[in-house]
Amino acid sequence: MMVSPDVIKPIEWFHGRVRYLDQTLLPAKVEYRETEDESVLASEIKRLAIRAAPLIGIAAAYGVALAINKVEKDDPAQRKFAFERAYTLFAATRPTAVNLFWALERMRRVFRANEQEPLDKLKHNLLAEARSIHEEDRKMCEQIGLHGAELLPTAAAVLTHCNTGRLATGGIGTALGIIATAWEQKKLKHVYIDETRPLLQGSRLTTWELSMYGIPATLVVDSAAGFLMQRGLVNAVIVGADRIAANGDVANKIGTYGLAVLAKHHQIPFYVAAPTSTIDFDVASGALIPIEQRASSELFQFFDQSFPGGDIEVYNPAFDITPNALVTAIITEKGVIERPTAESMSSLRSHSELSKRAGQAEVST
């Protein structure tokens, strides 16, 4: 029996606790966990039980609300200590995704505006902001889906990378939101899914989501993408983003840059789908975006089997940088930026509450 994708709720506020889906267990096991401890939530972000740029921003906002909820004494020093500790805790989880810092800065502004208010009001307003961040992301995903679907030809066959759907956001997703919308509009014919090494977010997560929609899809190894394009099987490549620089350079899951190069060679549109909260106007180009390095164990493990690496060194960046010259368009909830440059991207700046770089330096290593 086909399961509705609407049942996927990767995170929610649940009776004073945060309830989340452990994505490390998917698709073999669907397990929800709950916590009222912000430290646990931060650890779950680090180990990718909660993952993807929009979702970790939502999680961090809820985590700050959890921290303030535990304050019992109405003491200004105690509430400030709790907030700053939570802010620092979540800022140190994952350095590349700017949605994390964007959400934390929004929570900081609400904290400062209500710092002298009664404790109950402070708690209420921080939780209300976290819920607003969650709801706004849901609405942004819907708009991204509509804008992106307009760009696809009828009976489109698209290639996507990593996971960018309901598991990654507060709504239907970014790149997968476009795919789901195009399918609903009967514009989509087929989806090719990169496995997305080394943690297989494509083969574990995207296949699971698309099967819920009943969308025809084919899983391929990452290195088969160029061959698909050579055979004329792909009309467009659609990916998400973890941070977009002011000039339109894109940081996304490792392997994205290679796809963009292949798409350029084969004259296939390469689209990036992301909310404006993913754009960091404080970073001039992709060269300045910090790239998270993951553990070597991710490469020395295959399912349940581990093998020793001996003296072999491991270089395991979680993300790469795609230069703006390879990007056909960036699709946001505010509209589509074709052939992004610093000048064309600037039109989005007034629409966005963008994070400042304060607090990022200590997590850039």
Rounded Cα–Cα distance for residues 243 and 279 (Å):
6
- Provide mean pLDDT across the span 97-105: 96
Of these residues, 137, 194, 242, 320, which one is catalytic? 242
Question: 12 phi and psi, to 5 degrees?
Answer: -160, 155
Mean pLDDT of 335-346: 96
Asked if 19 and 34 count as a contact pair (C-beta separation under 8 A), the reply is yes
Q: Which percentage of the chain shows pLDDT scores above 70?
A: 93
8 A C-beta contact, residue 251 and residue 320:
yes
Averaged pLDDT, 232-252: 98
Alpha carbon distance 293, 362 (integer Å): 15
Amino acid at 65: A
Residue found by looking up tokens 């972000």 in the block: 45
Whether cis (ω within 30° of 0) applies to the bond prior to 54 is no
Residue 292 to residue 300: CA distance in whole angstroms: 18
The helix (run of H) or strand (run of E) holding residue 192 is: strand 188-194
Mean pLDDT check: name the lowest of 57-66, 184-193, 226-235, 291-300: 291-300
pLDDT(361) > 80: no
DSSP 291-355: -PBPPGGGTSEETTEE---TT-----BSEEEE-GGG-SEEEETTEEEES--HHHHGGGGGG----
Average pLDDT of the residues in 337-342: 97
Annotation marks residue 242 as catalytic = yes
62 confidence band (pLDDT: 50, 70, 90): very high
Neighbours of 116 (CB within 10 A): 9
3-state class (DSSP) for residue 236: strand
- Entry pTM: 0.94
Closest CA to 159 of 179, 185, 142: 179
- Percent of the chain, pLDDT > 90? 88
Task: Give the Cα separation of 256 and 269 in Å (integer).
Answer: 14
The answer to whether the CB of 228 falls within 8 A of the CB of 265 is no
